[in-house]
Amino acid sequence: MFLALIPARYILAVLGSIAMAIIYGLKVNLSVAMVAMLNHSALAHNSAVAAESKEHHVNAEPVCQGSNSTEAVEDGPFIWSEPVQGIILSCYFWGYLVSQVPGARVAESFSARWVMFFSVLINVVCTLLTPIAAKMHYVAMIVMRVGEGIGGGVTFPAMHVMLASWAPPNERSVMSAIVYAGTALGTVISMLMAGVLAGTLGWESVFYVMGGLSCLWMVLWLWLIQDTPTKQALISQEERELITSSLGTGSASAHNEPKPPVPWRKVFTSGPFYGILIAHICNNWGWYMLLIELPFYMKQVLQFNIKENAVVTAIPFLTMWFFSMALSKTLDALRSRGKITTTIARKTATFIASAVPMGCLLALCYIGCQRGLAVALMTIGITAIGGMFCGLLSNHIDIAPNYAGTLMAITNTAATLSGIIVPIFVGQITHGNQTIGAWRVIFFVTIGLYIVEIIAYLLLASGEEQPWNKGDKPASSIEAAEAEATPLNTKESKQNYNGQDQ
């Protein structure tokens, strides 16, 4: 009875959000846990030796003297240098990189529901095996992280396929934001749990507890979710008709007809596609800079201990979650009233997600060791990044819903290069040089990429469906299909759609 009170499409959105939270939570927990896994005393000695060979380090700005500067160093068992740490953190994206396009095609051609299920399953198994792998050798650790990346790489394409089949156009921003804001929620929960678990029960508990708790989702997903509304048993007839009529998927031919092949040439000559591609690459650089490297900046430069680190790092991702919900709802309301177009909504959200964190990073370069102000700036910057969920990350479905999964896979594959490069780049810049000056260089590179993102997306992006979404079919065939998919009583269907669940 309880499930009957909740629209099936929002059950999908909530479980999709939890899935993204699991994937991101199991990804970022290592960033926090590694702080407890490392032998900082030995690493500090090695860094001091390395620093003597760096002439520029003599005049570099030192790290801050935090309130916990007299606290005993929290040492773990592993002596992994900064470059090795960078490789361990970045190797997740090696698997992430190769799985996206194949995963998207499987999701579009067969079942996005099963692709999501196996994505979480792979991540849970690799997480539970991580403590054993770490104790064996860091190479075994790399293998586990690559496995997690393979599972994680298919999540965005698969969820795009699900949203293209389940989200009415006027609710697309809200449903997309609910689903993808799970990445922020997962980050919050993971960082808080990882900090508490590592500080109380030891670093191994981070992986055992979080991996074990994720198993419940797999049962709920298989029980409650199907690929499309037409296959879903736990849905009212009214809601099924609402979704299928708004998407033009209610007819038998629309349901049974296979999707046309991807028009690759038209995709790679499309301006709106390149707007999303460039913005996704640049935005991901800033996202992963803050997601992966923020705990190390807090620890090494601002001198937070691991429990402080977890709390201070997690808070901005919680505010991001609230902000993304509010912004998506506001933009959808303005669109439904005809105040703004889809194009304006996507560009507004993406501009907020890039311009605000860019300004915060610029200020962060010059405030020195003012820890309170640094936390405030990072909170504001990370909060604003939540605009990407209803901005560029929703845009693939607007321009080509038939190929939303494939387009997401292409842009996210390219954007994954940022996830690979960021930890290695930071590791090389800060090796034997954990100073404010070194991090200033890192922040300025990120600022430059944000500028590129803003310009490219404002010039190229569009919220309108592109002609090539219908593939390479003749125009007469497209018109016939559209006519058949149109509900007989268009006016009544439209009134039903606009009056329900708004």
pLDDT per position as a tens digit, 445-465: 999 999 999 999 999 999 999
pLDDT band, residue 71 (cuts 50/70/90): very low
Assign 87 a pLDDT band (cuts: 50, 70, 90).
confident
Can you tell me the distance from the alpha carbon of 379 to that of 97, in angstroms, rounded to the nearest whole number?
29
431 vs 304: CA distance, rounded Å: 19
CA–chain centroid gap for 411, Å, is: 13
Answer whether residue 70 shows pLDDT above 50: no
**Over the stretch 256-267, which tens digit does the pLDDT of each residue have?**
556 678 899 999
As to burial, measured by CB atoms within 10 angstroms (0-12 exposed, 13-18 middle, 19+ buried), residue 209 is middle
**Least confident stretch, 240-249, 321-330, 471-480:** 471-480
At 345 the pLDDT is 94
Across the range 267-277, mean pLDDT stands at 95
Question: What confidence score (pLDDT) does residue 30 get?
Answer: 86
pLDDT higher than threshold 70 for residue 317: yes
Q: Give the model confidence (pLDDT) of 157-175 as tens digits.
A: 999 999 989 998 888 888 9
Q: Of all residues in the chain, what percent carry a pLDDT higher than 90? A: 39
pLDDT mean over 288-303: 73
Out of 66-70, 210-214, 237-241, which region has the weakest mean confidence (pLDDT)? 66-70
Distance CA 369, CA 374 (A): 8
Taking residues 311-337, report their average pLDDT.
85
pLDDT at 247: 83
Residue-level pLDDT at 250: 62
Phi and psi torsions of 396, nearest 5°: -60, -40
User: What's the whole-model pTM score?
Assistant: 0.75
The DSSP call for residue 105 is: H
DSSP 8-class letter at 78: B
Q: How far apart are CA 490 and CA 479, in angstroms?
A: 17
Predicted confidence at residue 248, as pLDDT, reads 76
Please say whether the beta carbons of 353 and 386 come within 8 A: yes
Give span(s): CATH 1.20.1250.20, the chain.
1-47+77-228, 263-468
475 has a pLDDT exceeding 60? no
Residue 21 token pair: 């939270």
Per-residue pLDDT averaged across 51-77, rounded?
A: 53
Q: How far is CA 155 from CA 116, 129, 408, 480, 485, in A?
A: 6, 21, 10, 34, 29
- Signed CA dihedral, 185, 179, 176, 286: sign only: positive
| Contact predicate 119/155, CB 8 Å | yes
| pLDDT interval class at 479 (50, 70, 90) | very low
The first and second tokens of residue 63, run together, are 């790290």
Percent of the chain whose predicted confidence (pLDDT) is above 70: 81
* pLDDT for 82: 73
Q: Span 29-35, mean pLDDT?
A: 82
Query: What's residue 459's pLDDT?
Result: 96
Say how many C-beta atoms besides its own lie within 10 A of residue 66's C-beta: 18
Q: Is the pLDDT of residue 494 over 90?
A: no
In terms of average pLDDT, the best of 195-204, 297-306, 417-426, 459-468 is: 459-468
SS3 at position 268: coil
> Is 77 or 413 the better-scoring residue by pLDDT?
413
What pLDDT does 461 receive?
95
- Helix (H/G/I), strand (E/B), else coil: 59: helix
CATH class of 1-47+77-228: mainly alpha
371-388 mean pLDDT? 88
Does the structure show a pLDDT above 60 at 500? no
pLDDT for residue 435: 78
What does residue 78 show for φ and ψ, rounded to 5 degrees? -105, 135
Rg (CA), the chain: 23
pLDDT at 433 over 80: no
Q: Which range among 58-62, 128-132, 341-345, 483-487 shows the weakest confidence by mean pLDDT? A: 483-487
> Domain 263-468 belongs to what topology?
Growth Hormone; Chain: A; (1.20.1250)
What letter does residue 467 receive in the DSSP assignment?
G
Residues with Cβ < 8 Å from 114, sequence gap 6 or more?
Answer: none
pLDDT digits (tens, 9 = 90+) for 179-235: 988 887 887 788 788 878 888 888 899 999 999 989 999 999 999 999 999 998 888
List of residues 6+ apart from 245 with CB closer than 8 A? 487, 493, 496, 497
